[in-house]
Amino acid sequence: MGSLVVNGLIVTMDEERRIIEDGAVYLKDGKIEDVGRTSKLVDEYARDSEEQIDAKGRIVMPGFISSHTHLYGMALRGASLDIEPPTDFTQNLQRIWWSLDELLTKNDAYATALSAALTYAKHGVTCFADTWSGPNSINGVLDHIEKAVREVGIRGVLAFESTERHSEKEGNEGINENERFIKKAKGQNRSLVEGMVSVHASFTVTDDHIRRAFQVAEELDAPFTIHTAEGLGDVYHNLERYGERTVERFKRLGILGPRTVLAHCVNVSTREVDLIANTKAGVAHNPMSNSLNAVGVAPVPDMLEKGVNVGLGDDGYIFEPFENMRSAFLIHRVHRRDPGAITLQDVLEMATMNGAKLYGLDTEIGSIESGKRADLVLIEPKVKPSPINANSVLGHLTYTCNAGDIDAVIVDGEVILRDRELVGIDEEKETAKVHKTISRLWDRLRSAEPQIDRVRGH
């Protein structure tokens, strides 16, 4: 028996980008069986449906996808740090993120992943790509993150962010953890959680490390991701050591291609954008995090014009898809001083189908069409300043809606949020548990020292 979502405004994000008024979706065995007008689908499937979900007055769309995040970013939400204020991105890493990394435990991994997954579920994010970083919590840590994600019931693509900041041995352990987890995930039938290979950034690893990590991704047919030219320090490092810019170095190392997701790409040249486009590598754009870290504005309009697949991420900062869409929509307009720099359709594609394509999941998720996994979000805007219909819905998704408008979330055919309440989870109890763990982490963080580690790359 299946279930029917009826009477909704369906934003399919299918190949034709159809928007169906008074539409319905029939779900069965975790998949989307059919999409069309309510009258037609009720006639065909009502008898075979255990449940009808009335989406009248609601927008029905595929679940949002966060193309790049750090779930443990939740540990710094609201934290009061007694540090010398950073003046650039490298100091941000040294004084905040790397100091935090040193302290993180596997219990912290579970707690922050649970906090982030609960937030994502309530905000309509049904799939994310995460990289964990912690030199003292490597072996087996992805299992702890997986546990939290499964408890909430959303999808995750998980990796350990390998780095040689301390040693070659540390870097190898990170690659090995990714290899172990990818193999484990591939052995699970219809798993919500998958693995990938992640490298921190080119300025903390050698050529040999990048090559080995990418080889593992190729051998296991898994995605590969690396932070790319987020800050100028990355670019200067490569120019000084190799006489190459960041993406040029990646081209020489042979790691650019369809399985590669380059996170950020803020400080890239026109030639580098061409290299990304020509090799069909993808980009995870994080406009709100880039603004927070004051690293600049990625040339996303140029990328889109050249056919680069660009997904939308949050980089562990604001776990809210509407805010990230708005930021992407606005920042490129003001940066280019061009109101046509990016469109409503562009940002919605970045938040759904493009993210699925980045990780090779576009035959499974990212749109509402027959044969795909049943990942849906029902949105009921509390504020309706003007009519919401097929002609106006894209504008409302970017201009009007917010996370509080998420009414229901379905992942793999299972309702995990109903009437804005999580299903089967005692949110108050779980949140209290998370807060206790993060409070202890904050106590340790108060005495943490800056991590002025040498960068790698010889």
DSSP labels, 218-261: HHTT--EEEEESSSHHHHHHHHHHHSS-HHHHHHHHT--STTEE
End-to-end CA distance of the chain: 60
| 8 A C-beta contact, residue 407 and residue 356 | no
| 8 A C-beta contact, residue 303 and residue 277 | yes
78 confidence band (pLDDT: 50, 70, 90): confident
Residue 427 has pLDDT above 80, yes or no: yes
The pLDDT value given to residue 452: 66
| 8 A C-beta contact, residue 213 and residue 224 | yes
| 8 A C-beta contact, residue 3 and residue 32 | no
**How much of the chain is in helix, strand and coil states, percent to nearest 5?**
45, 20, 35
The pLDDT value given to residue 454: 53
Pairing of strands 31-37, 19-28: antiparallel
What is the C-alpha separation between 264 and 241, in angstroms, rounded? 22
What is the C-alpha separation between 450 and 440, in angstroms, rounded? 19
Residue 82 has pLDDT above 80, yes or no: no
Stretch 261-279: mean pLDDT, rounded?
98
CATH level 2 (architecture), domain 64-358: Alpha-Beta Barrel (3.20)
What is the C-alpha separation between 129 and 215, in angstroms, rounded? 20
A 10 A CB-CB count for 57 gives 15
Residue 69 has pLDDT above 80, yes or no: yes
Give all strands (DSSP E) within 168-220, no chain letters: 193-195, 197-201
**pLDDT > 70: percent of the chain:** 97
Stretch 256-284: mean pLDDT, rounded?
98
**Cα Rg for the chain, rounded, in angstroms?**
21
Residues of the chain with CATH 2.30.40.10: 2-62+370-422
Instruction: Report the range of poorest mean pLDDT among 71-75, 298-302, 445-449.
Output: 445-449
CATH level 2 (architecture), domain 2-62+370-422: Roll (2.30)
Length of the chain, please?
A: 458
| 8 A C-beta contact, residue 381 and residue 61 | no
Instruction: Report the range of poorest mean pLDDT among 21-30, 79-88, 195-204, 369-378.
Output: 79-88
Q: What is the mean pLDDT of the chain?
A: 94
The pair of structure tokens assigned to 280 is 């069909």
16 confidence band (pLDDT: 50, 70, 90): very high
What is the C-alpha separation between 344 and 346, in angstroms, rounded? 5
pLDDT per residue over 44-61, tens digit each?
999 989 999 999 999 999
Residue 299 has pLDDT above 50, yes or no: yes
What is the C-alpha separation between 213 and 218, in angstroms, rounded? 9
Stretch 332-354: mean pLDDT, rounded?
97
93 confidence band (pLDDT: 50, 70, 90): confident
Residue 86 has pLDDT above 90, yes or no: no
1 confidence band (pLDDT: 50, 70, 90): confident
458 confidence band (pLDDT: 50, 70, 90): very low
The secondary structure element, H or E, covering residue 62 is strand 59-62
pLDDT per residue over 209-245, tens digit each?
999 999 999 999 999 999 999 999 999 999 999 999 9
Residues of the chain with CATH 3.20.20.140: 64-358
97 confidence band (pLDDT: 50, 70, 90): confident
pLDDT per residue over 134-171, tens digit each?
999 999 999 999 999 999 999 999 999 999 999 999 99
What is the C-alpha separation between 147 and 130, in angstroms, rounded? 14
Specify which residues 166 forms β-bridges with.
Answer: none
Residue holding tokens 């001083």? Answer: 337
Stretch 91-98: mean pLDDT, rounded?
80
The pLDDT value given to residue 96: 77
Residue 73 DSSP class: G
Residue 417 has pLDDT above 80, yes or no: yes
448 confidence band (pLDDT: 50, 70, 90): low
Residue 384 has pLDDT above 90, yes or no: yes
Q: Give the residue from 316, 301, 330, 325 showing the smallest Cα distance to 396.
A: 325
The pLDDT value given to residue 444: 84
